[in-house]
């Protein structure tokens, strides 16, 4: 919150020894909001004594890939053509994403919390 307005939102799910970031939205880029939200979820993860924080993004989201890697994440897994299955559940997923890149794959990034 800033001046009584929402400037960012993060949702996450703790399960066993992991904590997953489900959504991350920063409504004012370049102000450290996304970083603060990731840091807060990492702190929650450490309180819960989980071993890792992880998330999934799509292959077209190069901005997110840079963002997470600059903050110390590692590429944990790649799921080629995984979006085809996601489109079965959510047909509204675009065929083409950022910068004209076809959306096909999911990429898993992780932060070690131990």
pLDDT in tens, 26-42: 999 889 999 999 999 99
SS (H, E, C) 56-100: EEECCCHHHHHHHHHCCCEEEEEECCCHHHHHHHCCCCCCECHHH
Residue 29's pLDDT is 86
The domain 8-80+107-112 having CATH identifier 3.40.630.30: the answer here is yes
Q: Is the pLDDT of residue 3 over 90?
A: no
Going from N- to C-terminal start, the domains of the chain cover 8-80+107-112
pLDDT in tens, 49-91: 999 999 999 999 999 999 999 999 999 999 999 999 999 999 9
pTM here?
A: 0.92
Partnered with residue 77 across adjacent β-strands are 108
């Amino acid at each position: 919150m800033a001046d009584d307005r929402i400037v960012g939102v993060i949702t996450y799910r703790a399960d066993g020894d992991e904590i997953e970031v489900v959504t991350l939205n920063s409504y004012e880029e370049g102000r450290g909001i996304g970083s603060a939200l990731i840091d807060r979820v990492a702190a929650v993860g450490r309180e819960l004594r989980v071993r890792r924080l992880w998330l999934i993004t799509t292959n077209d989201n190069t901005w997110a890939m840079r963002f997470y890697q600059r903050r110390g994440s590692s590429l944990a897994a790649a799921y080629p053509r995984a979006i085809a299955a996601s489109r079965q559940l959510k047909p509204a997923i675009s065929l083409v994403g950022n910068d004209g890149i076809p959306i096909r794959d999911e990429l898993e990034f992780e932060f070690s919390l131990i």
